[in-house]
Amino acid sequence: MSSDEAFVLEVLAALRDSGVEAIVVGSVAALLQGAPLTTDDMDVLIRDTPANRSKLKDLEQRLGGKAIALSPLSSAVRITTHQAHLDILFDEIPGGLGFQGLRARSARVDLGDAVAVVASLEDIIASKEAAGRPKDLAQLPVLRDTLRVLRALKKS
């Protein structure tokens, strides 16, 4: 197992043990479903509730990092660990995609020691289209191709 794979399992275990229900979104969600991507962080979406905000302290301790606000323009926080950044987003991702809808359309990916709840590839594509940053737009062709390949595999 690579250190990157181990980090994903570590984050999923920390979220579970902290009692935070999270959906993996962004590039890591896409690559867990077969997109050949690279990234510099792992994004998860949680509900913005007082309970979840207080659970972040526990999550910080488990991951050995401190949650820092990413920007005054965003509610997202980042926990930087020895391995990679974990970005925690609240309530919705670009494209107006909210927690409830994302969870209803999510997929469950079996990772052996853990099950990751991940945003659907369709939702990830919609979110990256809406975000419109150069790094998101650059990933769209391979994400669309991955979706087509997955659909072709399902058909047969």
Partner 1 sequence: MQPDAPAPSDLEALIAKVQQEQARLAPLLPDIDPGDLNSILVAIFRPWGMGRRFFIRRLPSGANVF
**Footprint on this chain of partner 1 (rule: CB under 8 A):** 1-5, 7, 27-28, 31, 33-41, 83-84, 110-112, 142, 145-146, 148-150, 152-153, 156
Burial of 44 (0-12, 13-18, 19+ CB in 10 A): buried
Q: How far is the CB of 31 from partner 1 (least distance, A)?
A: 5
Q: How far is the CB of 15 from partner 1 (least distance, A)?
A: 17
DSSP 8-class letter at 42: E
Q: How far is the CB of 5 from partner 1 (least distance, A)?
A: 6
User: Given the complex with partner 1, which of 39 and 126 has the nearer CB atom?
Assistant: 39
Packed helices 134-155 and 121-131: angle between N→C axes, nearest 10 degrees: 160
Cα 33–chain centre separation: 12
User: Given the complex with partner 1, which of 51 and 153 has the nearer CB atom?
Assistant: 153
DSSP, collapsed to helix, strand or coil, labels residue 95 as: coil
